[in-house]
């Protein structure tokens, strides 16, 4: 390339030294200017708000699940979508005559929290262990590889069931691990391995690159190299795995609910709605399954597109694209 060819943005050369902008500040600036990213982020936020409604109501002493459960309409048992009762019946009724729309909205709380919480534990755990294993190498690497290989040897569902049973009745620091926290942890424990493997491999590649050697040469410590040079360059793996893991966690929740060890029975969740489909579909009652799958589809789609845009925003090479 010729020396003279780089006047990419002549407006930037005002002659003044402007303060540097960090990678995150720059990504945020580009993300907020990206309309598609903002639309799908808004969809995710609507889901988050819907998921938070039962929680806020319970803080105010109002149990939305009990209220929805009590508001049964005996005449509309297993009734398909109808406009006779206004918005309540728009997605139909379940076997007890309860609104499926209400169930879907209340289910968002459980499913979103399972998707988010399991990944908020699993993805950083996988990234941290993968980066440490890949960067330090030697015995540290051997130990981490041994740990994840051991976990990977056990079929996921068996491990999930075993952990769920092990947590039954366990309360630590006032947290009942027999309930939802135990489910988050069990899902996290079984889903960090993929992220860890990918991050480890990428870190091993990155640590040999000259910019990491340059940082070592100027006296940067190992931890700071991990933080400043490795972490930003493996972040895209975390973002992609979070998107994929979100769906995976909801799938696992469905599986556990089907086996009756997931979300406590009676709690509205998309998993419970899908697991009820085995009886419903035979009778031709499709609306409960369709509502749960539709709700899941939209949030996963929104999260995936937003995740893609976030990954692009964090890649300075795409700064001038689009």
Partner 1 sequence: MTESNDTPLLEVRNLKTTFGKGKTLVKAVDDVSFKVYPGQTVAMVGESGSGKTTVGRTLLRLIPAAGGEVIYRGVDLMSLKPREMHPYRQKMQMIFQDPASSLNPRMTVGNIVAEPLDVHLKLTRTARRKRVGELLEKSGLNPTWLNRYPHEFSGGQRQRIGIARALACDPEFIVCDEPVSALDVSIQAQILNLLDDLQKELGLSYLFVAHNLAVVEHFSDYVCVMNNGKIVEHGDRDSIYDTPQHEYTKKLLSAVPNADPKHKNLHARIK
Q: Which residues bind partner 1 (CB under 8 A)?
A: 1-3, 5-6, 8, 12-21, 23, 209-211, 213-220, 228-229, 232-233, 314-317, 319
CB of 45 to partner 1, least distance (A): 27
Given the complex with partner 1, which of 308 and 315 has the nearer CB atom? 315
- DSSP-derived 3-state class of residue 161: helix
Instruction: Classify residue 11 by its DSSP letter.
Output: G
Given the complex with partner 1, which of 44 and 199 has the nearer CB atom? 199
CB of 244 to partner 1, least distance (A): 22
User: Measured between alpha carbons, how far is 282 from 278 in angstroms, rounded to an integer?
Assistant: 7
Given the complex with partner 1, which of 86 and 320 has the nearer CB atom? 320
Report yes or no: 57 and 64 within 8 Å, Cβ to Cβ: yes
Report yes or no: 96 and 77 within 8 Å, Cβ to Cβ: yes
User: Residue 61 burial (CB < 10 Å; 0-12/13-18/19+)?
Assistant: exposed
Given the complex with partner 1, which of 29 and 77 has the nearer CB atom? 29
CB of 131 to partner 1, least distance (A): 15
Report yes or no: 129 and 196 within 8 Å, Cβ to Cβ: yes
Report yes or no: 261 and 161 within 8 Å, Cβ to Cβ: yes
Three-state SS sequence of 20-34: CCCHHHHHHHHHHCC
Given the complex with partner 1, which of 21 and 77 has the nearer CB atom? 21
CB of 28 to partner 1, least distance (A): 14
């Amino acid at each position: 390339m010729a020396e003279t060819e780089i006047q990419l943005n002549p407006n930037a050369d005002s002659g003044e030294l402007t303060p540097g902008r960090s990678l995150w500040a720059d990504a945020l600036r580009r993300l907020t200017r990206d309309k598609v990213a903002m639309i799908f982020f808004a969809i995710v936020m609507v889901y988050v708000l819907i998921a938070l409604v039962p929680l806020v109501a319970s803080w105010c002493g109002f149990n939305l699940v009990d209220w929805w459960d009590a508001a049964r309409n005996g005449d509309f048992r297993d009734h398909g979508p109808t406009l006779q009762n206004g918005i309540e019946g728009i997605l139909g009724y379940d076997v007890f005559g309860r609104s499926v729309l209400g169930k879907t909205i209340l289910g968002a709380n459980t499913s979103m929290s399972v998707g988010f919480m399991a990944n908020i534990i699993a993805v950083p755990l996988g990234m941290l262990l993968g980066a440490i294993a890949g960067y330090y190498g030697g015995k540290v690497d051997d130990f981490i590889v041994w740990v994840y290989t051991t976990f990977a040897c056990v079929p996921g569902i068996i491990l999930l069931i075993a952990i769920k049973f092990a947590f039954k009745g366990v309360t630590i620091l006032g947290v009942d691990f027999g309930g939802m926290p135990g489910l988050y942890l069990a899902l996290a424990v079984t889903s960090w391995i993929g992220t860890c493997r990918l991050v480890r491999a990428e870190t091993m590649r990155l640590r040999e690159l000259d910019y990491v050697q340059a940082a070592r040469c100027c006296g940067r410590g190992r931890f700071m190299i991990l933080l400043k040079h490795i972490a930003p360059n493996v972040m895209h793996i975390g973002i992609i795995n979070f998107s994929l893991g979100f769906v995976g966690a909801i799938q696992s929740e469905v599986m556990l609910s089907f086996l009756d060890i997931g979300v406590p029975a009676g709690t509205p969740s998309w998993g419970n709605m899908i697991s009820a489909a085995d009886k419903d579909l035979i009778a031709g009652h499709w609306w409960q399954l369709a509502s749960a799958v539709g709700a899941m589809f939209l949030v996963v789609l929104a999260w995936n597109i937003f995740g893609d845009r976030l990954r692009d925003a964090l890649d300075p090479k795409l700064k001038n694209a689009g």
